[in-house]
Chains A and B, each alone.
Chain A
């Protein structure tokens, strides 16, 4: 099984950004993203990138994490920049590439300086006002917790089912996907029954 499932994007540290309040970081990221998308000019793009690079330096983001996280963004950004180059010229292409880099870098800084638990706690806090429209924060927390617990088991189930199909020489994706999904649903029913037997989830 992929060991990456046991570790998120978070990188432990003691920098100012690590200690900053989660809400402030996510809020700043939202404002930054809006600014990058709405402001269309070449000097501003490099200004945004400089801000993102500075934040990454302050947070001391690990280079390997940066490379791993930026790779999919970079591939897409380069392709689109090339298309922009052909269609609109080099200035717009460079602006697009720099904007996308700045956005991805800023987001990586927030994710790499915030533990999964802290981010989850913050999210549960933020949806508390939704209680008055029928959303139960405790139930949401239970669901997310169950989903996190289910991640390794579901991936293992997928690999197991896929290997079984391969062992029988079956190539059609249906032979893998249908048993996999049916087993997931059956397991979910078992989990639901177990929760109910323990009196969890009954309000």
Chain B
């Protein structure tokens, strides 16, 4: 594939020039979209009886937020969803296409970008230099997890036309796996920030 040079687009707004992302930002966003896909495909761990695999998908989503920060983490997850939406088999169960956006668990999928945004915001702007310590990244990852579950519950309530209590009960079994994944995110993200101190510009 020939990499054509992208033409410079004129600034439409006359406001103060906004900071445009560098080529490395583009590469990081693309790389983490692919990383989330790789985690989803490789990490499937079927739980006997339950219909949903405990995949590393949510691990990848939260990791994108905690490593890349709010904006780039959000964009990486959006790109991942775009890859799945256009038909590539990057979703859980080696599936792709638009069917994942219409199922019972669609609420979780739609909220992935926002969960990454929240986790990234906390790591980047609240914990700042302390992001090299796993304990602080864990708090950010748990915040993202909680938001993801809240949106998943809303999605299930809408699709199943059930009560809030029932939707919450349906969601409860997946908390243990997600807490473990948040721990893994914290450990790995803290190590990445020690390896690449300038990743978040501080």
Do B89 and A5 touch across chains, with their CB atoms under 8 A apart?
Answer: yes
Report B16 CB to chain A, min CB distance, Å.
12
The dominant DSSP class at the A interface is helix
Complex-state Cα separation, A138 to B33, whole angstroms:
18
Given A73-B99, A100-B104, A181-B35, check contact A192 B188 (CB 8 Å).
no
Which B80-112 residues sit within 8 Å CB-CB of chain A? Answer: 80, 82-83, 85-90, 92-105
Tell me the interface secondary structure of chain B in the complex.
helix
Which residues 28-75 of B have a CB within 8 angstroms of A?
28-35, 37-39, 41-42, 50-52, 59, 63, 67, 75
Chain B interface residue count, CB cutoff 8 Å, equals 77
Contacting B96 at CB < 8 Å: which of A9, A106, A120? A9
| Chain A residues with CB below 8 A from B88, complex form | 5, 8-9, 116, 148, 151
B30, B100, B158: the one within 8 Å of A143 (CB): B30
B51 pairs with A76, CB closer than 8 A: yes
Q: Which residue in chain B gives the minimum CB-CB distance to A99?
A: B159
**What is the interface of chain B, defined by CB distance below 8 A to chain A?**
1, 3, 5-9, 12-13, 18, 20-35, 37-39, 41-42, 50-52, 59, 63, 67, 75, 79-80, 82-83, 85-90, 92-105, 158-162, 166, 170, 184, 187-188, 191-192, 195-196, 199
Q: Are B35 and A182 interface neighbours, CB within 8 A? A: no
- A120–B86 touching, CB < 8 Å: yes
Assembly CA distance A144 to B88 (angstroms): 12
Q: Which of B9, B35, B63 has the most CB of A within 10 A?
A: B35
Chain B residue contacts of A199, Cβ below 8 A:
5
Given A96-B160, A154-B35, A154-B37, also A111-B79 (CB < 8 A): no
5 shortest A-B CB distances, which residue pairs?
A192-B24, A111-B97, A146-B30, A201-B23, A107-B99
- Chain A interface size band reads 35 or more
Q: Is the CB of A136 within 8 A of B187?
A: no
The answer to whether A150 and B30 touch (CB under 8 A), given A96-B160, A139-B21, A196-B24, is yes
A154/B102 in contact, CB under 8 A: no
Q: Are A147 and B83 in contact (CB under 8 A)?
A: yes
Give the chain B neighbours of A148 by CB distance below 8 A: 83, 88
CA distance A78 to B18 in the complex (A): 50
Within 8 A of B (CB), among A161-203: 162, 173-174, 177-178, 181-182, 184-185, 187-189, 191-193, 195-196, 198-203
Q: How far is the CB of B90 from chain A (nearest CB, A)?
A: 7
Asked if A16 is an interface residue, CB under 8 A from chain B, the answer is no
Question: Which A residues are within 8 Å of any B CB, using their own CB?
Answer: 2, 4-5, 8-10, 26, 29, 33, 37, 40, 68-69, 71-73, 75-80, 83-84, 87-88, 92, 96, 99-100, 103-104, 106-108, 110-112, 114-116, 119-120, 123, 131-132, 134, 136, 138-139, 142-151, 153-155, 157-159, 162, 173-174, 177-178, 181-182, 184-185, 187-189, 191-193, 195-196, 198-203
Q: Could you list 11 A-B pairs, sorted by A, with CB under 8 Å?
A: A8-B87, A10-B87, A71-B93, A84-B160, A99-B159, A145-B30, A147-B34, A150-B31, A153-B34, A157-B38, A182-B195
A-B contacts besides A115-B87, A200-B23, 19 pairs, CB < 8 Å: A8-B87, A75-B51, A76-B103, A80-B104, A107-B97, A119-B87, A131-B12, A132-B13, A139-B26, A146-B30, A147-B83, A151-B37, A177-B184, A178-B191, A185-B192, A191-B24, A195-B27, A200-B5, A202-B8
CB atoms of B97 and A69 under 8 A apart: yes
| B24 pairs with A174, CB closer than 8 A | no
